[in-house]
Amino acid sequence: MRHVVLGLCGVVGLVSVGWGIKELIFLRAAWGWVVLGMMALGCPWIGAFRGWYPARLLWRRLVLGGTGVLWGLVLVGVVHLGLLHYAVRDQAMLEKPMRTSWGTIQDQVFSAEGHTSSYRLFLPERRRMSRPTGLVMFLHGAGFTGRIYERWLAQSFYPKAQELGWLVVFPSAGSGEDMVRRLWNDGSRPETTKALGIPQQRPWLRGLVSLLCKTYQIDPKMVFWAGHSNGAAMVMSVAALEKQPFGGVVAISGAISAERLAQKPVGSPLPVLLVHGEKDALIPSAGRRSGKKQVFVPTRETLAYWAEHNGCVVRKEGPFTGIRPPETEKAGGIDILFYPKRCKHPTLLWSFRQGGHMLPGVPLEKAMAWLLMLGMDGRMIAEVKTADLVLGFFVQASLGRTFEFLEDSKKTK
């Protein structure tokens, strides 16, 4: 009977802790399950001290040691999940538009194609122009929201956007405390769509861009897409599958799925900049497999995918390579790979040799930095700023001067 009770305690403890941690990873309120599991795992300790076990000292040590290790692992996991929750805390919606020295910041809610979500909009001051002339859509990574990314990027993005007279939009895939509702879904993996129960948001993004372009009279060719991680995968899908011509794409620390790679793009050719850290632990630059199945393709295959779409001459031996000028070499070295011949638009890959998963030049909360360090991720590149990289590339793309950048890169090889 004692062994049956202890066995049930172990089963209940492990199931409860496992379920609770799984739910906590998705930012659901499941602390009660973790507490229940830890109490159940503590039963052998109580039983051992009350004489439930034979009086053999070795047996008691094994029981107490085993449950002690489980307790320690659970405590460490709970602490780090708490840090994760703290790092991805969302900001409250603005009750009214906030005016800064750069422009006006607004929170809006938009509904289209059965999906409703919010977005944060930066509207530059109209001192030197009658209306905004460009639109930058920046899509967040999985588990975050547009407001969190705006918190990270506002200080660097908004002054430059004010100079350019461009709108900047940080849309949210979802909101609330559930991480699943903060995930961009392009529909390339139906099994994920079915398992998580989230809608395809590409029609929602299409409707949002259409509304903004109509409201502010922006030329669709001056709409630029940028994204990080899960958001990077989404902007590449938008550029590949939407027939509306866009001004350019910057995909940071993202990858396209094998299913998406198999689909031929129907969108118009456009300037593409891929940015990836070679030490990225979450989305490895070498790609990721699950058994025999390719989940994410390597960044070089993604580069070739866009180069072919842009009409470049794709060499069998691979792309050309250049090195950034000396002032950025302290960032660990940056390899630039590109297909420059006969392209309708350039396709570039900036590969940071020591870079990890997070946005370049964006200071992280200590909680997020610790979690990435434990995951053996590369370092955050401080010497190159995301705003300079993204907006600099889009400005060159809008002026048709991205090929000049290629010529400068070849001189530094």
The residue to which tokens 């390339």 are assigned = 188
Which pair of tokens denotes residue 50?
Answer: 């009350």
- Check residue 402 and give its pLDDT: 67
- The H-assigned helical ranges of 168-319 are 190-196, 202-216, 230-241, 258-261, 299-309
Name the CA dihedral angle for 157, 163, 164, 167, rounded to a multiple of 10 degrees: 50
Measuring CA to CA, which residue among 216, 269, 214, 275 is closest to residue 243?
269
Q: How confident is the model at residue 412 (pLDDT cuts 50, 70, 90)?
A: very low
Task: Give per-residue pLDDT as tens, 245-265.
Answer: 999 999 999 998 888 888 888
> Mind listing the pLDDT tens digit for each residue in 27-59?
566 667 677 777 776 676 665 555 544 445 666
45 vs 336, higher pLDDT: 336
Encode pLDDT of 371-408 as tens digits: 777 778 888 888 889 999 999 999 989 887 766 655 44
Separation of first and last alpha carbons in the chain:
74
Q: 323, exposed or middle or buried, with CB in 10 Å at 0-12, 13-18, 19+? A: middle
Summarised one tens digit per residue, pLDDT across range 263-305 is 888 889 999 999 999 999 989 999 988 777 788 899 999 999 9
In the chain, domain spans: 2-87, 98-411
Query: Is residue 410's pLDDT more than 60?
Result: no
Q: Report the mean per-residue pLDDT for the chain.
A: 82
Q: CB neighbours (10 Å) of residue 300?
A: 18
Please name the fold of domain 98-411.
Rossmann fold (3.40.50)
